[in-house]
């Protein structure tokens, strides 16, 4: 495998991405709910679906200081900050920002100031166009998307974290174009219908149309979209080299929470550092999205990122697989500003162009399917592979 890697890395683009990721080093990540409070109650929000707000955030600020010191001593270097609504607790956010690489995810209703947070990646949630978003998140009255657009106008820290739904794929073009026109970046997430809204919000309908629209969005804005078609495919189909997404394979489980004891022993890779902390900063939960969540409803992009990342070896069989793996890792590091953001953004169109070329080649030779080979199916030597070698 070492020699294959060396061959792949003769390619300047792959080499550059690989070197930068290596220079930054491995991530030791945790998830922290910075507060139990929220100024919205979005329909189907996993946090309130499992009453995670019952774990109250400590009123004594000293608890956060101690927490930070403990996590630094443990080697933590990256924090996903969620909640509740993090923008309600800027002083706590600032303490975390000053000590770790982090991404904060916000509903966008409140501005996050520049001063003190200059280089902080901000994921702003949106769940559809103005009508859909108002319906799902704004009690049918507040146009949350519109307010967020205004709050983060021309803010280069802002990356829209667009939670898409199967029946609303037709909204993607307009939502993305508005986010880009607002001077921001875009990535995607997939709605898990935990409160059984059904119909167009029902994840079991599949995200094929959504993925087609994501592809089109990438073609329109290759300098602004921080997601690859491969990531979208793995997250939305829950398939990776013959594995099927579920609790048994999910790598982002709290490694030392008793609830995960059997999972940790089952032989599938897991993040050996990861903990998902409840707002009390003392207790942990099973995984990023709860204790009891049915994993077949989980399309959380961050935990699927980790799934792909931890399967590097499986991606070394072909240059295409390796490119998919490396671009996944690189886009994660880039979006989270772990590698140089300005330099990385300049590479983005070349990355998307490369991925498109690989996919076009694939559709020209559909019989050569790397996933089939990797999942143990026999490779038929009569297939025409000359286009690949």
Task: List the single partner that 192 binds among ligand SAM, ligand SF4, none, CB under 5 to 8 Å by kind.
Answer: ligand SAM
Q: Does 132 bind ligand SAM (CB under 6 A)?
A: no
Q: Does 85 bind ligand SF4 (CB under 6 A)?
A: yes
Task: List the single partner that 44 binds among ligand SAM, ligand SF4, none, CB under 5 to 8 Å by kind.
Answer: ligand SAM
Task: List the single partner that 178 binds among ligand SF4, ligand SAM, none, CB under 5 to 8 Å by kind.
Answer: none
Task: Name residues contacting ligand SF4, limited to 1-40 (CB under 6 A).
Answer: 38, 40
Q: Quick check: 193 and 203 in contact, CB under 8 A?
A: yes
Q: Does 48 bind ligand SF4 (CB under 6 A)?
A: yes
Q: Total residues contacting ligand SF4 (rule CB under 6 A)?
A: 12
Q: Does 215 bind ligand SF4 (CB under 6 A)?
A: no
Give the helix/strand (H/E) hosting 187: strand 185-190
Q: Which two tokens stand for residue 322?
A: 């390796």
Give 40 or 142: the residue with its C-beta nearer to ligand SF4.
40
Specify the pairing of strand 284-285 against strand 276-277.
Answer: antiparallel
Q: Does 45 bind ligand SAM (CB under 6 A)?
A: yes
Identify which range of 22-30, 99-107, 261-269, 340-348 contacts ligand SAM by CB under 6 A: 99-107
Closest CA to 30 of 125, 90, 103: 103
Give 191 or 230: the residue with its C-beta nearer to ligand SF4.
191
Closest CA to 148 of 110, 183, 114, 94: 110
Q: What does the chain come to in residues?
A: 389
Q: Which two tokens stand for residue 304?
A: 């699927």
Q: Quick check: 254 and 272 in contact, CB under 8 A?
A: no
Q: Quick check: 194 and 136 in contact, CB under 8 A?
A: no
Give 11 or 280: the residue with its C-beta nearer to ligand SAM.
280
Q: Does 96 bind ligand SAM (CB under 6 A)?
A: no
Task: Name residues contacting ligand SF4, limited to 123-182 (CB under 6 A).
Answer: 137
Q: Does 121 bind ligand SAM (CB under 6 A)?
A: no
Identify which range of 81-89, 294-302, 332-340, 346-354 contacts ligand SF4 by CB under 6 A: 81-89
Q: Does 191 bind ligand SAM (CB under 6 A)?
A: yes
* 3 state SS for 13-49: HHHHHHHHHHHHCCCCEEEEECCCCCCCCCCCCHHHH
Give the helix/strand (H/E) hosting 8: helix 2-8
Closest CA to 104 of 85, 76, 127: 85
Q: Does 82 bind ligand SAM (CB under 6 A)?
A: yes
Euclidean distance between CA atoms 266 and 185, whole angstroms? 38
Q: Does 42 bind ligand SF4 (CB under 6 A)?
A: yes
Select from 29, 35, 76, 107 the one that contacts ligand SF4 (CB under 6 A).
107
Q: Quick check: 117 and 93 in contact, CB under 8 A?
A: yes
Give the helix/strand (H/E) hosting 243: strand 243-244
Sign of the dihedral through C-alpha 153, 154, 156, 162: positive
Least Å distance between CB 151 and ligand SF4? 14
Q: Quick check: 63 and 132 in contact, CB under 8 A?
A: no
Sign of the dihedral through C-alpha 311, 315, 321, 327: positive
Identify which range of 17-25, 43-51, 167-175, 268-276 contacts ligand SAM by CB under 6 A: 43-51
Q: What's the first-to-final CA gap in the chain, in angstroms? A: 17
Give 300 or 321: the residue with its C-beta nearer to ligand SF4.
300
Specify the pairing of strand 276-277 against strand 239-240.
Answer: unpaired
147 to 176: interface string for ligand SAM, x by CB under 6 A = --------------x-x-------------
Using CB under 6 A as the criterion, which residues of the chain lie in contact with ligand SAM when the complex forms? 38, 44-47, 82-83, 85, 105-107, 125, 161, 163, 189, 191-192, 194
Using CB under 6 A as the criterion, which residues of the chain lie in contact with ligand SF4 when the complex forms? 38, 40-42, 45, 47-48, 83-85, 107, 137
């Amino acid at each position: 495998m070492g020699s294959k890697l060396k061959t792949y890395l003769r390619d300047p683009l792959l080499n550059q991405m690989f070197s930068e990721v290596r220079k930054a080093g491995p991530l030791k990540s945790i998830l922290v709910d910075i507060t139990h409070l929220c100024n919205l109650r979005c329909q189907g929000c996993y946090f309130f679906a499992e009453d995670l707000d019952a774990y109250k955030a400590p009123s004594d600020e000293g608890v956060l200081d101690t927490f930070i010191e403990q996590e630094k001593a443990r080697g933590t270097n990256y924090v996903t900050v969620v909640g509740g609504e993090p923008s309600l607790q800027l002083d706590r956010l600032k303490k975390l920002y000053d000590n770790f690489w982090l991404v904060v995810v916000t509903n966008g209703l409140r501005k996050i100031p520049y001063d003190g947070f200059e280089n902080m990646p901000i994921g702003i949630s949106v769940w559809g166009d103005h009508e859909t978003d108002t319906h799902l998140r704004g009690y049918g009255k507040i146009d949350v998307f519109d307010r967020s657009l205004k709050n983060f106008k021309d803010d280069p820290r802002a990356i829209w974290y667009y939670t898409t739904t199967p029946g609303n794929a037709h909204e993607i073009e307009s939502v993305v174009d508005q986010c880009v026109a607002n001077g921001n970046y875009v990535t995607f997430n997939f709605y898990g219908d935990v409160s059984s809204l059904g119909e167009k919000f029902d994840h079991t309908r599949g995200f094929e149309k959504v993925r087609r629209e994501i592809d089109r969005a990438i073609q329109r804005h290759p300098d602004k979209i921080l997601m690859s078609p491969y990531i979208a495919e793995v997250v939305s189909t829950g398939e990776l080299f013959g594995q099927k997404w579920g609790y048994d394979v999910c790598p982002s489980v709290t490694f030392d929470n008793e609830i995960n004891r059997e999972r940790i022993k089952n032989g599938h890779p897991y993040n050996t550092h990861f903990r998902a902390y409840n707002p009390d900063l003392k207790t942990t939960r099973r995984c990023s999205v709860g204790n009891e969540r049915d994993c077949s409803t989980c399309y959380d992009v961050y935990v699927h990122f980790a799934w792909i990342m931890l399967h590097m070896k499986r991606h070394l069989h072909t240059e295409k697989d390796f490119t998919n793996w490396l671009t996944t890792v690189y886009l994660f590091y880039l979006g989270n500003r772990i590698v140089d953001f300005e330099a990385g953004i300049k590479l983005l169109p070349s990355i998307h162009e490369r991925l498109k070329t690989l996919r076009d080649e694939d559709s020209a030779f559909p019989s050569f399917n790397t996933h089939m080979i990797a999942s143990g199916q026999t490779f038929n030597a009569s297939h025409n592979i000359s286009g690949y070698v």
